[in-house]
Amino acid sequence: MRPVRKFHYGWAILVAAFLATMSFGSSRFLYGFVLPVMEADLGLPHSAMGNIASAYFLTYGAMAFIWGIVADRIGARKCMLMGLVILATGLSGMGFMQSLWIGLVSNLFSGAGAAGLYVPVASLLSAWFDGRRRGRAFGIMLMGSGTLISTAGLVTPIVLADHSWRWVWWAGALMVLAIAVICWFLLVNTPAQKGLSPVGASPLSLQVAGLAEGVSRSRVTIGQMLRRGTVWNFAGVWFCYGAGYAAFITFAVAYLHEIGWGIEQAAGSFAVFGAMSIPGPLVWGLLADRVTKKYLIMTALLVQGTGAMLIWGGDAVGGYVGAGMIGFGNIGMPVLLGSSMADYYEREVISTTLGFIILFLGLASVLSPTAAGAVADAAGTLRPAIMTSLGGYSFAFVLLLLLKKPRKRD
């Protein structure tokens, strides 16, 4: 008989990370689903709705760096639990929105809470999964976001048919609180706390990781890490990508509605977006364990740029295909960035480095919806917002050509 393999607790950690990513997805994507209905009900212009979206990305970007520093000091578990509670508070506040200011404050909370999920989980999975399994672990984790998007794209129109848009936000808040309770019981910072080694670790990889850990603790500081060219290269790429993606996620449904799509059709395109986001992370993750990540990120940007062109064209079939392409390409970006961190940087500064890069993503995501919304108001159409998306993806692709190869770590 073949010996029965014992269950490795790393897979329980991955379940918790998957659920946390579902929460992260709710904060980012529910707004796009209900934006046209909220806009009409509250009587707010495109620029105001863009400002509310920017509020989320403002604290998401700013707090990402702070969460990263804190996570490298107190551990991912505490950061993620605090992030879930803060996120639930923000989602609930959006349901009570009566004015622009309530929306701004609520989305500030949502952004701060969401940053406390994705940034710490990078160091969490890097600790629990060996380099040969890390890409697929990040891929499985990010499937939680796609699951949420696809489900919300199908369920939201049904809810809006009989209930106020406020119930969409309140349901999201309750889901996040339930996930927080589950994560309370499941999350553990490192395998050592369970007397385990990382999933898939070999004696050689453990030895190499141990040597790298010793070097990082004795020599690497945050200042030295920030002087590395790759950090700024990643930051520039994610700034441009963030500008493109934020414009798309904020205004795509409203744009399709503007050019004649029904609200159910427009939301349905996001169901396709979400459906492609479900298998996408696992595909990108498996590829990341085998192919140079730089080329994979370039491919993901190219796929998204092509999708933005199809959305801009407004064709019925092209709209659905474009949304699917952006969903598939976009979900690969956090998988590839997160799994790249341990290739380029020491374990003790992974969360800090990732938080610094996300800071630039957040900055672009603040500027992009506000600028695109203002230009749309001036032009009388949302077409410039979709062109902003295409431009962001294109500039990110060009900057990525400058990224150097990583030094092998495990």
Residue 116 Cα distances to 69, 87, 95, 181, 329, angstroms: 11, 9, 22, 16, 23
One pLDDT digit (tens) per residue for the chain, 410 residues: 444 457 789 889 999 999 998 887 776 777 877 877 888 888 888 778 778 887 887 888 788 888 888 888 888 899 999 999 999 999 999 989 888 889 899 999 998 998 888 788 878 888 888 767 778 888 888 788 777 777 777 788 888 888 888 888 898 899 999 999 999 999 998 888 888 888 876 544 444 444 344 444 435 566 777 777 888 999 999 999 999 988 887 787 777 777 777 767 776 777 787 777 778 888 888 888 888 888 999 999 999 999 888 887 767 777 788 888 988 898 888 888 877 877 777 777 777 888 888 888 878 877 887 788 788 888 787 888 888 888 899 999 999 998 887 765 44
Distance CA 301, CA 324 (A): 14
Q: Which helix (H) or strand (E) holds 403?
A: none
Distance CA 189, CA 120 (A): 10
Distance CA 111, CA 28 (A): 8
Supply angle C-alpha 316, 267, 136, rounded to 5: 100
pTM above 0.85, yes or no: no
Q: Which token pair is 10?
A: 């790393």
Distance CA 250, CA 317 (A): 21
CB 245 within 8 A of CB 330: yes
Residue 85 Cα distances to 14, 88, 220, angstroms: 20, 5, 33
Residue-range domain boundaries for the chain:
10-189+200-400
**pLDDT score for 253:** 75
Distance CA 297, CA 147 (A): 22
Distance CA 248, CA 255 (A): 9
Q: Which token pair is 406?
A: 């990583």
- Burial of 89 (C-beta count, 10 Å sphere; 0-12/13-18/19+): middle
**pLDDT score for 219:** 53
Closest C-alpha among 103, 109, 88, 127 to residue 49? 103
Query: Any idea which residue has 């410039």 for tokens?
Result: 384
CATH 1.10.1740.10 for domain 10-189+200-400? no
Q: Which token pair is 162?
A: 């009989």
**pLDDT score for 202:** 55
Residue 56 Cα distances to 64, 257, 265, 362, angstroms: 12, 23, 26, 9
Residue 351 Cα distances to 118, 125, 189, 405, angstroms: 10, 11, 13, 20
**pLDDT score for 263:** 66
Residue 302's identity, in one-letter code, is: L
**φ and ψ at residue 129, rounded to 5 degrees:** -130, 130
- Burial of 27 (C-beta count, 10 Å sphere; 0-12/13-18/19+): buried
Q: What tens digit of pLDDT does each residue of 161-186 get?
A: 888 888 888 988 999 999 999 999 99
Beta bridge partners of 129: 199
Give the rounded percent of residues in the chain with a pLDDT score beyond 70: 90
**pLDDT score for 23:** 86
**pLDDT score for 408:** 53
Q: How far apart are the first and last CA of the chain?
A: 33
